[in-house]
Amino acid sequence: MGQAKTAPRSRRAGRPRPRAPRPFLSREDWITAARADLVAAGVSAVKVDRLARRLGVTRGSFYWHFKSHAELLRELLKSWEHTNTGPFERVLAGDETPRGVRKFVAIIKLWVDEKDYSPAFDTAVRDWARTSREAAAAVHRADARRIEILHRVFIDIGFVDPEALIRARIAYFHQVGYYTLEFRESREERRALVPLYARVLLGGPSDVIDAAFAETDITPQVAGQPVMASASSASASPAAAPAKRRPR
């Protein structure tokens, strides 16, 4: 005669329930996490173990999407080229984007607003390029393409070569240098001075440039209005200040 079946034991009171399954991470999730570590601490901080711990998953999740750490780094560079150069491409190619000076102003807004374009991501990749041939090649491609875009904008404005190319280079070198030097000024001061920079870089009639900025949320600096003191100007002595130029 068989043994009587016993009822299953009830779960003990207070016993923790099984954990809910972790959300499935996509390939893009890993790239986004790698970008955050790159910007915060450099490429040496982009490690599989470290990313897995921060994301709350195992290394196996990583290898579901990537064959190796090197592949992740390659995808990170592709992401940088797409996200930080793509906005410049869209300004150039957009059917609804105004031409000429207004297109140049649209590019300036990309730099100043720092929404679609990330200077921190740019700086991190440039630092990475010092020790990686692959990163250096990506930086050279991006720089060449951005200068080419600016070159076409200056041609569209009415300049001819070689002046159009030189103005494009100066405009781009100026902006890269701004971030490389880690220049300190408030957001308000920078935005107030942007139209003045545009006048210098374009060398065109101020009324045309001001009209282009009037269609944006950037307010031009009024001629003769004192500029807010920055970290560099605050330390300068009054005697060292240049004399005012007479208006012509």
Q: Note every long-range contact of 40-46, with CB atoms under 8 Å and residues 24 or more positions apart, other chains counting.
A: 42/124, 42/127, 42/128, 43/73, 43/124, 43/127, 43/128, 43/131, 43/132, 43/135, 46/72, 46/73, 46/76
Average pLDDT, the chain: 78
Range in 75-89, 139-153, 209-223, 226-240 with the lowest mean pLDDT: 226-240
Tell me what the mean pLDDT of segment 207-217 comes to. Answer: 59
DSSP category for residue 229: P
Tokens 């408030």: give the residue.
186
Angle formed at CA 110 by CA 229 and CA 232, multiple of 5 degrees: 20
Q: How many CB atoms lie within 10 A of CB 22?
A: 11
Residue 44 scores a pLDDT above 90: yes
In single-letter form, the type of residue at position 8 comes to P
Q: Tell me the backbone φ, ψ of residue 37, rounded to 5 degrees.
A: -70, -35
For residue range 108-161, what is the model confidence (pLDDT) as tens digits?
Answer: 888 988 889 999 999 999 999 999 999 999 999 999 999 999 999 999 888 899
Q: What is the per-residue pLDDT for 241?
A: 36
Q: What is the per-residue pLDDT for 66?
A: 94
Query: pTM higher than 0.75, yes or no?
Result: no
Range in 32-41, 206-215, 222-231 with the lowest mean pLDDT: 222-231
**Of 19, 27, 29, 20, the residue nearest 55 (C-alpha):** 29
